[in-house]
Amino acid sequence: MSITGMDRRPAARPAPEQVAPLPSPPRTMRALRARRDELRSRITEGSREATQRQHRLGKRTARERLALLLDEGSFVELDMYRRGAGGGGVHTDGVVAGSGTVDGRRVFVYAQDFTISGGSLGAAHAAKIHKVMDLALANGAPVVALNDSGGARIQEGVMALDGYGGIFSRQVAASGVIPQISVVLGPCAGGAAYSPALADFTFMVRETAQMYLTGPDVVAAVSGERVTHAELGGADVHGTRSGVASFVHDDEESCLADVRYLLSLLPANNLEPPPPVEFAEDDPARPRLPDIVPVEPNQPYDMRAVLAEVVDDGEFLEVHEGWAGNVLCALGRVGGEVVGVVGNQPLVLAGVLDTAASQKAARFVRFCDAFNIPLVTLVDVPGFLPGTEQEYGGAIRHGAKLLYAYCEASVPRVQVILRKAYGGAYIVMDSRSIGCDVSLAWPTNEIAVMGAEAAVNVVHRKELAAAADPAELRAALISRYTAELMHPYYAAERGLVDDVIDPAETRAAIMRALAMLRDKRKRPPARKHGNVPL
């Protein structure tokens, strides 16, 4: 009885009708194996309708992408049976993760599966990615991420955000230890966009890839600006304007083929050298080189043509081809050994350095240094781009990034001065004064504080103003300045250039220099880390 005197206990319910259980099928190894095979088949095949929708969007499925990326039959999947709380209990939880080989070399991979919950990231999804990244770091192997996701799984709340944080922290821990490649093949929005930004290289595919922190709807609500997904964060935007995308492709096939090519040029980790290849000895003389570069310092030419004459078989992989085109950054091989090449590009802004070019080259130099890739710098630079826009935009700070990157680099460094090398831009482009190991110059080189005409206008301003014939005096002064201070051997006579070489011998001279520097060792000072002028 209760304290009120009334019994509050519920009335007893009648016992449910007893139903005899169905007999269990006999547990045989054959039956268990068949059940396991049937389940794996359903997981790997996925939903036919969802696959068809993915194809209609012009995209391949996660497993189709991995088949293009990895050597046939090499993929070892991890956590195939994993299910997440918010993914409808679907196996894999929207990400296919594991390891395989590319040209026989080990890589770790994960591919987000847009056919399952839009590839959204929840706790289980993130845990699979964390596992792959931890294994990649422990094994000293590159990690490749194939991004195609609608973002954080809203129904999992903060746990989804925690999953992203775990990815980002692992990327930072692996930075400079193992190569990290991010491939954006669909949406990659919000906080997820930081993962490609933290990678060493980011690939994007036109039409299907979008990457931004806030989408078009939010932009319109906050600013009133109407913009499409492609205009806000498409592949061409990041390939030409923001510089977030290192490579832009028209389709997934060519994109993943280039990921394979890039991996062939990279070491597995920071303790190994880049992979050499057998290279048949050729005649290193390049008789076309003297004809590619005009003697006149103000005449443009394509630095890519010079690079093609220097590297093996004329093959190289240009990074950020569409962004900051006034500087060229590329990976290639010289005598079978991988090198990183930085060169001014006279076809764009006469090859001057500006804020974007400085950032582009600095990051490339730091990557090469982190992964033991020797640096070759091809110099033809008239200076830094002048103007208030550049100064207000931090030209000094961004230029200092490139200066810092070269000063810090401990890999073999070879500088080749083709024509102009003026002012602070000469110093920044890996001059002897900031640690270049071997400096070579063509007979067309002009190393000076500034061009002869500009120098005469500054130094002899009063004389020119008082002269009866300023034009005649200016021409005479320019001729004298050039003869005394800008002749090809001025820097060599003072030990700032090691040799003035025949342009046709450029490839041979670079090969000799790299062979001489192959065993270079340089210990960094004892410190936690430097303070890069970010």
The residues carrying an active-site annotation are: 190-191, 424-425
CA dist., res. 430 & res. 463, Å (int): 36
CA dist., res. 121 & res. 125, Å (int): 6
**Phi, psi dihedral angles at 47 (to 5 degrees):** -80, 125
**Phi, psi dihedral angles at 34 (to 5 degrees):** -65, -40
CA dist., res. 443 & res. 3, Å (int): 109
Which secondary structure element, helix H or strand E, spans residue 440, and what is its range? Answer: strand 438-441
**Phi, psi dihedral angles at 507 (to 5 degrees):** -60, -45
62, 82, 50, 77: which is closest to 132 by C-alpha? 77
CA dist., res. 499 & res. 5, Å (int): 110
| CB 119 within 8 Å of CB 148 | yes
Sign of CA dihedral 332, 335, 341, 344: negative
Determine how many CB atoms are found less than 10 A away from the CB of residue 141: 18
Look up residue 208 and give its amino acid.
T
End-to-end C-alpha distance for the chain, whole angstroms: 76
Give the count of alpha carbons within 13 A of 257, CB side only. Answer: 6
Look up residue 79 and give its amino acid.
D
Q: What are the angstrom distances between the C-alpha of 408 and each of 19, 369, 386, 404?
A: 78, 8, 27, 6
Q: What is the largest CA-CA distance in the chain?
A: 126
DSSP code of residue 511: H
The two tokens of residue 435 are 């640690």
147, 143, 163: which is closest to 84 by C-alpha? 163
Q: Please name the residues in contact with 212: beta carbons below 8 A apart, sequence gap of 6 or more.
A: 189, 193, 229, 232, 233
Q: Please name the residues in contact with 179: beta carbons below 8 A apart, sequence gap of 6 or more.
A: 142, 143, 200, 201, 263, 266, 267, 268, 269, 371
